Amino acid sequence: MYPSRFHYEAPRSLAEAFSVLQAYGDEAKVLAGGQSLIPLIKLRFSAPAVIVDINNIPGLDYHEEDSDGSLNIGALCRHRTLERSPLLRSRYPTMAACAPLISDPMVRTRGTLVGSLCHADPQGDWASVMLALGGDIIAQSAKGERAIPASQFVVGPFQNALEPNEIAVRARVPASKGTRSGTYLKLERRVGDFATVGVAVALEASGSTINRAGIALTGVGPSNIQCTEAEQALAGKTLNASTVEQAARLAAQAAQPKTDVRGSAEYKRHIVHTFVMRALSNQQQARAA
Amino acid sequence: MAQALDEVKIGGLGASRKRVEDDRFVVGKGNYTDDFKLPGMLHMEILRSPLAHARIKSIDTSKAWQMPGVHMVLTGDMAAQHNLAWMPTLSYDTQAVLATDKVRFQGQEIACVVADDPYIAKDGCEAIQVEYEPLPVIVNPYQAVAEGAPVIRDDKEGQTDNICYRWDVGDREGTERAFAQADVVSKIELHYPRSHPSPIECCGSIADYNAATTKLTVYMTTQAPHIIRAAVAIVAELPEHMIRIVSPDIGGGFGNKVPVYPGYVCSILCSILLARPIKWIEDKTGNLISTGYARDMYYKGELALRKDGKILAVRFHADTDNGAFFSDAQPTKFKIGLLHSAFACYDIPYAYMTAQGAYTNKAPGGVAYRCSFRVTEAMFFQERAIQTAANDLGMDQAEFRRINLVKDDQFPFRTPYGFLLDSGQYEKCLDVALNAIGYHDFLREKEEARKQGRRLGIGLSTMTEPLGAGNSREYDILGIKMFDCAELRVHPSGKAILKIGSKTQGQGHETTFAQIVSHELGIPAADILVQHGDTDNTPFGMGTYASRSTPTAGAATAMVSRKIRAKARKLAAHLLEVSEEDVEWELGRFYVRSAPNNGVTIQECAMAAYGNMPDGLEPGLENNAYYDPPNMTWPFAAYIVTVEVDPETGVWDVLRMVAVDDCGVRINPMIVEGQIMGGMTEAYAMSNMQFITFDAEGNCVGSNYMDYLLPTAWETPGFELHEVVTPSPHHPIGAKGIGECACVGGPAAFVNAVHDALDDTGVRNIDMPLLPHRVWEALTYKRDVSGAPPLKTDAD
């Protein structure tokens, strides 16, 4: 690979990283797993003057629950760790379903969840999961930290809400309002491909009553789409043929797909409907069993 | 009595000997072109056109020239001063080396920058400013011949349209008469999408012109070093004996590394101009968008059928999309390769085909991607037409094939296009495949599943293909006849070096060709070193493609071994003190007929050739042999695939895949099976996901591995392999070639299986690749789905 010339910084602490960012402003680009950034600079689609490699900063490779029941995922926590996480498997079914569907094993070994969110690719899978779970992203700068809801974090294709002097240090999933269930379904042409369509479904229920429903879509709009109407159609309800169908219909309506090499807009909308049906029907059946 | 050698133990014919080349590859000690570093070497990068069709108004290279570390910025105008702005193609057309007047496809070479390192060279390319005047873009052959279409090749004198060739073959009138007598005429139209061989190693070269000796050495990624030497002599007007082409280890070729590319020519010109070694290593995007594509052919065909299932005649027309330059790598006589091998395995009395090629604003190529010159398209069209015809007749697809396949007692069989099939057991292969898959059980299972709303399907593909080009009467490239050579040097200790003119790119020649010598001479394969790829050091050969190495160079290897054996017999008679007539041969050893314990080994004969030859016998034990095959070899294959289609998403999964290959005698069964699995993986790829398309502006969709999908181990189904062996009657060891059968015959089996799962919908054709959205569209709307470019997109 022959990228454009860049200056490389490898700070050993967050404080050092912030001063580097302060010095270079928006000329700097943060490198975590590099699985999106490196292809971009290889193709010279992106030519940052400075690359700030945060891999030497200790204390960012973790995922753990806080005392308030929220889950925090550090900026250097790799997809591979999440894929193998017993915690996710036991308590975060939507995340556990998504992790093994991220690209391919090589990308999962290096790439990070937080980096994927920052990249803000409309075909990124994690952003849908975070939208469905109502998560947020914690941005830190020399002045302190702030939480940016996942729904406000992406401001456009490949554009996030971070200031040039901020680093996304962790993602956070709030404590559950009930028992979690859900899944992530992804139609891809091949392992490692971006989603033709991805659907994240996250339910939090007491008994058969859904306290909170999260449904979000990948690959069918200029950014990941939170299906607010479909979510509201399920909140406070139980899953049955009628509510499942209604949610699927509303989710399909929320999609803004485009016709491209992965299929027609009509097809993609149909897949959203099919996947929401499948995801919810499976939860319904699991509950019945 | 001395025991004869166990041939398998010494690594002879039939031994599944591990590939000797793998030792260096698995420890990272292979030597690819990019691994070579010559003293004083500079690096070259190519500036490519972002537009598919545009007039070049100006090229400003001044900024690039000023960059520190830049040694040269070469443009087409500069190349023209050396008569190298254009070069001849393998199909007697011309191709731009560096564009001077227009760019004619996205990715076309415009200029190159030579610098101290590749980073600076790439920066230099970015500093070149090109002013374009965009022109209308053509991305399929129908746009090319439409009224008012811009003439892409306005550089060619007398070229007033976009047609690059017309061709026809067969018996037109006889075919028409047969169609008049048909009970049913079955028609189908389809597109075989553009594909790319996509070797993992891209193309590259290091040109090293020595101004003192005037010798030019080029290390490069070529499947055919000797043809390249001839081509360089012609293109660069250099004396052929002062050109040395070295093709080191190659990271896959699949036909992509047969043509001469502008990058090679530019590196040579820059080396001559700068008197420094120049390295050019293409990146993946450059490889995918500019180098030899494959396929991209449109088929309109019809079969004349009798009610009882007999095929009376076949007639078809093919339109090829040849890209901006007609550069198909194919024998001179044939403008559309061996497309007329279509339907060869069926006994069809009359046949007629026509073809027309069109220039478009796409990369040139037309290379034989893991096949003999367009036979992949031929066999795909054939097997799709056969399945459709069986359906139109309401006949079982296996029975329909059985009725029409050439029978064992019909060999030698002359096809209506003039090919001579010399051997085969077609029906036996079909039966082995049907039994293996459990054909009738599956048909019942399919019916049951359909009642529950599940869609199962089964697809067959049976085919023979012409391999091993050629015979010198009919086959030549650039006027050079297509035979091959082997040279064998047996050293005093009985160890040997075999030199061949073909060139492995993963086929395992270093392993299998030693096995042929071992079979003929009884020298253990481990004692034989196979050399290839260096034109100063190997005999002339036409290279490795079209599954021709075993049929030609492999045959030459057997023949030179026999010459060596004949001389060794004289030495044995001398050593045994008997007359030559009294000497018998068994593997590795001559003995006295009347006293079998009294014998000498081939190694002892070798020593005698250098130390104890009889009076009057020339010393040494070395020789060479040219093999000019009297015919092609004709392997046969029967492939069956079963699938399940998800009607809600159009996603289809392969349930089972059975492959029965009759490639004649198998030299190394393990390598043969590896070749079949590799070819079948590519067949699956093309049927399922792998293609290059273009939008209306001529932008290439498939310019990197995120868009050009190669299946991984995750998607690739398992393959169940079976064999039938019908030796080739003319090849000295009976081998027929196997490198390409699965890639050629495989796609139709997958595609037919998916269509079979839709057999109640009236859908006749979904173009490859059968992407889920295409299958869903066909199923939902009960209509055919075309995959031809331009790609459908929403306007942003």
- The predicted pLDDT at position B1 comes to 46
* Residue B703 CB contacts under 8 Å (≥ 6 apart), including other chains: B107, B285, B288, B289
User: Contacts of residue B651 in chain A, CB cutoff 8 Å?
Assistant: 187
Structure tokens at B292: 């030899």
Identify any residues that bridge with B462 across adjacent strands, giving them in sequence order: B638
Q: Least CB-CB distance to B794: which of A3, A194, A258?
A: A258
Q: B773, A43: Cβ pair inside 8 Å?
A: no
What is the CATH T-level fold of the domain B294-469+631-781, as seen in this structure? Answer: Aldehyde Oxidoreductase; domain 4 (3.30.365)
Interface of B with A (CB under 8 A): 45, 118-119, 122-123, 126, 283, 285, 648-651, 689, 693, 701, 704, 706-707, 709-712, 714-715, 771-773, 776-777, 791-794, 796
Confidence of residue B235 (pLDDT cuts 50, 70, 90): confident
Count of CB contacts below 8 A, A vs B?
72
Q: Least CB-CB distance to A191: which of B123, B715, B776?
A: B715
b or e along B118-152 (b: 16 or more beta carbons within 10 Å of the residue's beta carbon)? bbbbbbbbbbbebebeebebbbbbebbbeeebeeb
Helix H, strand E, coil C: the string for chain A is CCCCCCEEECCCCHHHHHHHHHHHHHHEEEECCCCCHHHHHHCCCCCCCEEEECCCCCCCCCEEECCCCCEEEECCCEHHHHHCCHHHHHHCHHHHHHHHHCCCHHHHHHCEHHHHHHHCCCCCHHHHHHHHHCCEEEEEECCEEEEEEHHHHEEECCEECCCCCCEEEEEEECCCCCEEEEEEEEECCCCCCCCCEEEEEEEEEECCEEEEEEEEEECCCCCCEECHHHHHHHCCCCCCHHHHHHHHHHHHHHCCCCCECCECHHHHHHHHHHHHHHHHHHHHHHHHC
Summarised one tens digit per residue, pLDDT across range B704-757 is 999 999 999 999 999 999 999 999 999 999 999 999 999 999 999 999 999 999
Give yes or no for a contact between B198 and B254, defined as CB atoms under 8 angstroms apart. yes
Q: B651, A193: Cβ pair inside 8 Å?
A: no
pLDDT at B629 over 50: yes
- The predicted pLDDT at position A102 comes to 97
User: Contacts of residue B123 in chain A, CB cutoff 8 Å?
Assistant: 4-5
How far is the alpha carbon of A191 from chain B, nearest alpha carbon, in Å?
Answer: 7
In Å, how far are B163, B256, B319 from B147, measured between CA atoms? 13, 34, 17
Q: What is the mean pLDDT of residues A150-169?
A: 96
- The predicted pLDDT at position B366 comes to 87
Could you give the CA distance from residue A258 to residue A267 in angstroms, rounded to a whole number? 10
Q: What is the mean pLDDT of residues B6-25?
A: 96
Where are the CATH 3.90.1170.50 domain residues in chain B? 42-135+202-250+257-290
More confidently predicted of B480 and B639: B639
User: Contacts of residue B772 in chain A, CB cutoff 8 Å?
Assistant: 187, 189, 196, 263
How far is the alpha carbon of B570 from chain A, nearest alpha carbon, in Å?
Answer: 60
Structure tokens at A63: 């995922």
Q: What is the DSSP letter of B710?
A: P
Q: What angle do CA B136, B137, B143 make, to 5 degrees?
A: 105
Summarised one tens digit per residue, pLDDT across range B370-420 is 888 999 999 999 999 999 999 999 999 999 999 999 999 999 999 999 999
Order of strands across the sheet that contains B595-601: B583-586, B589-592, B595-601
Q: What angle do CA A257, A262, A266 make, to 5 degrees?
A: 40
Q: What is the mean pLDDT of residues B121-148?
A: 98
Give yes or no for a contact between B63 and B117, defined as CB atoms under 8 angstroms apart. no
Summarised one tens digit per residue, pLDDT across range A21-34 is 999 999 999 999 99
Q: B706, A193: Cβ pair inside 8 Å?
A: yes
Q: For the packed helices B772-781 and A265-288, what is the interaxial angle rounded to 10 degrees? A: 90
How far is the alpha carbon of A269 from chain B, nearest alpha carbon, in Å?
Answer: 11
Give yes or no for a contact between B434 and B428, defined as CB atoms under 8 angstroms apart. no
Q: Least CB-CB distance to B119: which of A2, A39, A263?
A: A2
What are the residue numbers of the active site of B? 223, 370-371, 740
pLDDT at A287 over 80: no
Amino acid B152 reads I
Q: A189, B648: Cβ pair inside 8 Å?
A: no
Q: What angle do CA B567, B571, B576 make, to 5 degrees?
A: 140
Q: For chain B, give the mean pLDDT.
A: 96
Confidence of residue B2 (pLDDT cuts 50, 70, 90): low
How far is the alpha carbon of A211 from chain B, nearest alpha carbon, in Å?
Answer: 30
Q: What is the DSSP letter of B613?
A: P
Structure tokens at B143: 């746009």
Q: For the packed helices B602-611 and B555-576, what is the interaxial angle rounded to 10 degrees? A: 70
b or e along A200-231 (b: 16 or more beta carbons within 10 Å of the residue's beta carbon)? bbbbbbeeeebbbbbbbbbbbbebbbbbeebb
Summarised one tens digit per residue, pLDDT across range B731-745 is 999 999 999 999 999
Where are the CATH 3.30.365.10 domain residues in chain B? 22-29+484-627, 294-469+631-781
- The predicted pLDDT at position B542 comes to 87
Q: Least CB-CB distance to B794: which of A4, A192, A265?
A: A265
Q: Least CB-CB distance to A259: which of B283, B648, B794?
A: B794
CATH architecture of B42-135+202-250+257-290: Alpha-Beta Complex (3.90)
What is the number of alpha carbons within 13 Å of residue B663 lying toward its C-beta? 26
Lowest mean pLDDT among B299-303, B372-376, B767-771: B372-376
How far is the alpha carbon of A17 from chain B, nearest alpha carbon, in Å?
Answer: 28
User: Contacts of residue A119 in chain B, CB cutoff 8 Å?
Assistant: none
Could you give the CA distance from residue B707 to residue B696 in angstroms, rounded to a whole number? 17
Q: A189, B709: Cβ pair inside 8 Å?
A: yes
Mutation target vs B (from A1, A2, A36, A268; most B CBs, 10 A cutoff): A2
Interface of A with B (CB under 8 A): 2-5, 39, 43-44, 104, 187, 189-194, 196, 258-265, 267, 270-271, 274
Q: What is the mean pLDDT of residues B552-580?
A: 97
Could you give the CA distance from residue B506 to residue B529 in angstroms, rounded to a whole number? 16
Summarised one tens digit per residue, pLDDT across range A24-66 is 999 999 999 999 999 999 989 999 999 999 999 999 999 999 9
Q: What is the mean pLDDT of residues B602-629?
A: 96
Q: Model ipTM?
A: 0.96
- The predicted pLDDT at position B260 comes to 93
* pLDDT > 90 in chain B, percent: 91
What is the CATH T-level fold of the domain B22-29+484-627, as seen in this structure? Answer: Aldehyde Oxidoreductase; domain 4 (3.30.365)
Summarised one tens digit per residue, pLDDT across range B261-271 is 999 999 999 99
Confidence of residue A289 (pLDDT cuts 50, 70, 90): low
Cα dihedral B210/B214/B218/B219 (nearest 10): -50
Could you give the CA distance from residue B418 to residue B407 in angstroms, rounded to a whole number? 18
Structural domains in chain A, CATH included, are 7-53 (3.30.43.10), 63-173 (3.30.465.10), 179-288 (3.30.390.50)
Cα dihedral B757/B760/B763/B765 (nearest 10): 40
